[in-house]
Chain A
């Protein structure tokens, strides 16, 4: 028996649990085209009304930060504390701010 890689490409599945909510990664499926990917995602991940929305995207199309570069990559955020509301001093008694 030959080991043939013929089970289709890998697709990542994202589900929106309720209207207005962000899409969240649920897992992945194998499929040969877009239509089959979305059908498989429905059958595998939403058999119990888990979602109001479904996205599939080919895994290989996702660009990600590798763990090795994590530190450097997110570095620019670390020295800009003034982006957080708690950075600012407020006078005693100020309301609704």
Chain B
């Protein structure tokens, strides 16, 4: 026999916030405020879409990888991104939205993905820059999100972080090797850094004051660190990595402080919002590609349902 406990909304909210404050995780069947649920649905699905859309710029280079070694590595990395998308969709689905719904929201432009993937991958050096910088920025964010208050999201982050460090290292290795190569290769590596540096910094999102969702997300520990803090962490660890292999960060205002941190120029926010709102170099191409292949797979899903029913 089940006993029903009647609790008022105020009590439920109090209990919820006490759990958050004592660092307990919130689990799918626990009571949670609608704003908490909606924030998670938006954030986790956006994160999942980013992993999957992020496969495209690199997929572009599989057939042109310069060696069998690099081709195998690139394939493994892209497979990981697909896997990370799956972990995250699963975590998002625990909030009561189906995967089809998430994909439909993506296709309609209602759900976003990291705007960094709307830039093109023009040369092989871009595979280095993406792994080193884009994955590096993602790791900085994801390490912090391992402590997020929602259990399924936190567990997905732990798993993803274990796998991501190979991604960053393989990217840095590409850059390092090119910097030891011919003058043309060195220039190619520097050019890739020049194009990916600012989009990577934009991945952390707007300044906290301009980030409308930040306050509740911090209060309820969905996010554990602010956008600007995470961005500074990334900048401070990445600049010495660039210098070590002879690359120059494309920022004329860069200045090392006594405490080991850097002063840097502000981001071009006009460009950021332009790309977020759909007007980047590859927005249309990325989404069209996803829609095309999703629709072309329709008959496979239909057939699989029929075969599964047997």
CB distance from B159 to the nearest CB of A (A): 7
Is the CB of A6 closer than 8 A to any CB of chain B?
Answer: yes
Interface size on A, residues (CB 8 A): 28
| CB-based contact B83/A44 at 8 Å | yes
Pick the contact of B100: A4, A27, A69 (CB < 8 A).
Answer: A4
| CB-based contact A7/B99 at 8 Å | yes
Main secondary structure of the interface of B (DSSP, over half): helix
| CB-based contact B99/A68 at 8 Å | no
| CB-based contact B100/A7 at 8 Å | yes
A71: B residues at CB distance < 8 A = 5
Q: A43 vs B82: C-alpha distance in the bound complex, in angstroms? A: 10
B3: A residues at CB distance < 8 A = 69, 72
B87: A residues at CB distance < 8 A = 27, 44
A10: B residues at CB distance < 8 A = 93
| CB-based contact A8/B100 at 8 Å | no
| CB-based contact B307/A32 at 8 Å | yes
CB distance from A28 to the nearest CB of B (A): 5
Is the CB of A54 closer than 8 A to any CB of chain B?
Answer: no
Q: A8 vs B100: C-alpha distance in the bound complex, in angstroms? A: 10
| CB-based contact B2/A67 at 8 Å | no
The answer to whether residues A5 and B83 also contact, given A27-B90, A32-B307, A66-B29 and a CB cut-off of 8 A, is: no
- Chain B residue nearest in CB terms to A26: B159
CB distance from B102 to the nearest CB of A (A): 10
| CB-based contact B98/A5 at 8 Å | yes
> 8 Å CB contacts to A: which residues of B269-304?
298, 301-302, 304
CB distance from A74 to the nearest CB of B (A): 13
- Chain B residue nearest in CB terms to A6: B301
CB distance from A56 to the nearest CB of B (A): 13
**A-to-B contact residues, CB < 8 Å:** 1, 3-10, 26-30, 32-33, 36, 43-44, 47-48, 64, 66-69, 71-72
**B-to-A contact residues, CB < 8 Å:** 2-5, 27, 29-31, 76, 79-80, 83, 86-87, 90-91, 93, 98-101, 104, 107-108, 155-156, 159, 163, 298, 301-302, 304-305, 307-308
Closest 7 pairs (CB-CB, A-B):
A32-B308, A32-B304, A6-B301, A33-B308, A28-B90, A67-B30, A3-B104
